[in-house]
Amino acid sequence: MIADFSIFPIGKGESLSGYVAEAYKIIEGSGLPHEHHAMGTSIEGDWDEVMGVIKACRDRLLEMSDRVSISIRIDDRKGRSGELVRKVESAKGKM
């Protein structure tokens, strides 16, 4: 499964990179394949692993603020792994 998600605190001003960095630490420490991008992070693993990382990010940001916004998109396909890279390579190969 691939989940693309963004997470940030609400009511903490305009610059949120310090909060995002806290989520990055958790994501990087998970050992799961991932890619950070300007609008969030894509992460790959089984349901419990991925959702556990998202929950850990949520818990950390709630330690630092009273309100957190999370957006999640999920692509869940049986019997597949390595899709985080393969899907992009497939599309680029058709350009």
pLDDT of 83 over the 90 cut: no
Going along the chain from its start, the domains and CATH numbers come out as: 2-93 (3.30.70.930)
Task: Please tell me the distance from the alpha carbon of residue 54 to that of residue 48, in angstroms, as a whole number.
Answer: 10
pLDDT of 43 over the 90 cut: yes
Condensed to tens digits (0 to 9), the pLDDT of residues 8-28 reads: 999 998 999 999 999 999 999
| Four-residue CA torsion sign, 86, 27, 70, 14 | negative
pTM for the structure as a whole: 0.90
pLDDT of residue 86: 83
The residue-averaged pLDDT of 31-35 equals: 97
Task: Please tell me the distance from the alpha carbon of residue 83 to that of residue 63, in angstroms, as a whole number.
Answer: 33
pLDDT of 80 over the 90 cut: no
Q: Are strands 2-9 and 40-44 parallel, antiparallel or unpaired?
A: antiparallel
